[in-house]
A and B are shown apart, each in its own frame.
Chain A
Amino acid sequence: MAKTIAEINEKIRQGQAVVVTAEEVIGLVAKKGVARAAREVDVVTTGTFSPMCGSGAFFNLGHSKPRIKVGGGRAYLNDVPAYTGIAAVDVFLGATAIPDDDPRNRVHPGPFNYGGGHVIEELVARRDVRLVVAAYGTDCYPRKRLETWINIKDLNEAVLFNMRNAYQNYNVAVNLSDKTIYTYMGELKPDLGNANYCSAGQLSPLLNDPYYKTIGIGTRIFLAGGIGYVAWHGTQHNPDVLRSPGGVPRRGAGTLAVIGDLKQMNPRWLAGTSMLGYGCTITVGIGIPIPILSEEILRYTAVKDEEIFAPIVDYAEAYPQRSPDILGEVSYGELKGGRISVQGKEVLTASLSSYPRAVEIANMLKDWIIKGEFLLTEPVVPLPGVEAGITFKPLKERPIEE
């Protein structure tokens, strides 16, 4: 039955491609079996909508008259500092950047109301943003101060470039201590007060392609409402972890670096986010199509929440101290049931990843493909797989002696 991406694209162009979401394919396989479903289905669409701190954007501001060398100076967008250590009028704004005068955790837990993620959301929403620059001045770039409104439509380039997104599985966070803690996994109440998880599970892109057989460098994707591409494997990409017999990682594993034109994107899919007591970030919507090139690939996409397991980690002690201890494993089926059992205690669960929005993304991508507006790409290079020999290295500290 082996199909090629070129054949699938031909069917998409003719409006004949059969496209289902990674949720719909589960029922289809249950009804028709793998062999028949693999013959009938051309593309399975995935989706995820989660806070993803490894995100940020590059902007080319355009040259002022007289010119100013922002590079090497200081630049602020709505008071949030941007990175300027690149070309004269290029800056990078990271999702977790916060204003210099943000109170941070001085009064704990700090609210972290506004940061880089929020600025990116405002730019994408076509709202004006205040740019303030202090530069040192050169012969060819004499100006030292700049204060102006900018709008995304006037920028030469606005490019979302996220170095780590779409984590293939993630920890379930709990708190074994006797005090509430505030983490990037949300507010965790004392004595196993709640268990927070963050994955779309059966709809999540890399959980549907566990061995990166179709998703690789150059894969065209849905990125925050626009079209983007997989640029590289993400930072901390760590394929060689404990896996289930079906191949699905039982720990955080692969990640993606993604890139796309911010001007095409929509604030519905790129939302400034505040994690109480932790910091600012951005919630990103990503959808990836999986071409059904073989029965094996179809079987991977039919994975369901009950078959995907995540480790339960104590964020009061084990996580901050980098202890490898886990408190057990739990399936996304159980997590989505609203309560799990940890150390014999019934614990209520909450998600930080929006499943309804993941469904919406998978459906939007499905519609784009059905309408012939989105063609699949052949990866240029596959992502490093289990065999790549990648190890996830901790920081080895070496004392600096004067």
Chain B
Amino acid sequence: MAISKRVVLHFPPRLVEQPIIYQLVKDYNLVLNILKASVTPKEEGLMVLELSGAREDYDRGIQYLQETGVRIQSLGQNVMRNDARCTHCGACVVICPTGALALDPKTRMVNFYEDRCTACELCVLPCPPRAMEVHF
């Protein structure tokens, strides 16, 4: 049975220089579509992938990733904004790596573009009124 899932991968700095994604394709026959990638030598890497393939290959591929030390998050996990708490200060806009939280230059309100959110959760704790919430 073929499946297709979106996942967020966090690469610890020590893994950033290893060809892990290549192995996913070669050894596990997975088709991947890179939705977002931010990889810098010696820093934590972030990648959002759509992985497609046979169920068995997918499970083995995920197991391989876990064994290498990659942290995996499912995109079924959602970050949402509690609009009653958001004060639109804008502290989050330099934290969000994908531009999902961005200022409207006219109104100076913070817009939350859920389609750009990769649920990396980086915004959750730095938000001063704690308006960003993780829902499962």
- A350-B128 CB under 8 A given contacts A338-B105, A356-B109: no
Closest B residue to A355 by beta carbon equals B108
The reply to whether A349 and B94 contact each other, CB–CB distance below 8 Å, is yes
Interface string of A88-129 (1 = CB under 8 A from B): 000000000000000000000101010000000000000000
Report how far A127 CA is from B91 CA in the complex, Å: 28
**What residues of chain A lie closer than 8 Å to B35, measured between beta carbons?**
none
Interface centre among B92, B107, B126 (most CB of A within 10 A): B126
- A354-B126 CB under 8 A given contacts A187-B95, A189-B94: no
Those of A45-88 within 8 Å (CB) of chain B: 49-51
Those of A318-344 within 8 Å (CB) of chain B: 336, 338
Those of A350-366 within 8 Å (CB) of chain B: 350-357
Interface string of B85-116 (1 = CB under 8 A from A): 10111111111000000010101110000000
Interface size counted on chain B using CB atoms at 8 A: 20
The reply to whether B85 and A271 contact each other, CB–CB distance below 8 Å, is yes
Q: Does B129 touch A at the CB level, under 8 Å?
A: yes
The reply to whether B129 and A272 contact each other, CB–CB distance below 8 Å, is yes
The reply to whether A357 and B88 contact each other, CB–CB distance below 8 Å, is yes
Q: Among the listed stretches A134-142, A164-172, A222-230, A273-281, which one makes contact with chain B, having 4 or more residues with CB under 8 Å of it?
A: A273-281
User: What is the CB-to-nearest-CB distance from A298 to chain B, in angstroms, rounded to a whole number?
Assistant: 25
Report how far A103 CA is from B26 CA in the complex, Å: 46
Report how far A119 CA is from B85 CA in the complex, Å: 15
**What residues of chain A lie closer than 8 Å to B90, measured between beta carbons?**
350-352, 354-355
**What residues of chain A lie closer than 8 Å to B107, measured between beta carbons?**
356
3 nearest CB pairs, A to B: A194-B94, A350-B94, A354-B89
In the complex, besides A113-B130, A186-B128, A352-B89, 18 extra interface pairs with C-beta distance below 8 angstroms are A49-B87, A49-B89, A50-B89, A186-B91, A186-B126, A273-B129, A274-B125, A274-B128, A274-B130, A338-B103, A348-B94, A350-B93, A351-B91, A352-B90, A352-B91, A356-B88, A356-B107, A357-B87
Sample (11) of A-B pairs whose CB atoms are under 8 Å apart: A186-B128, A187-B95, A196-B94, A271-B85, A350-B92, A351-B90, A352-B89, A355-B88, A356-B108, A357-B87, A357-B89
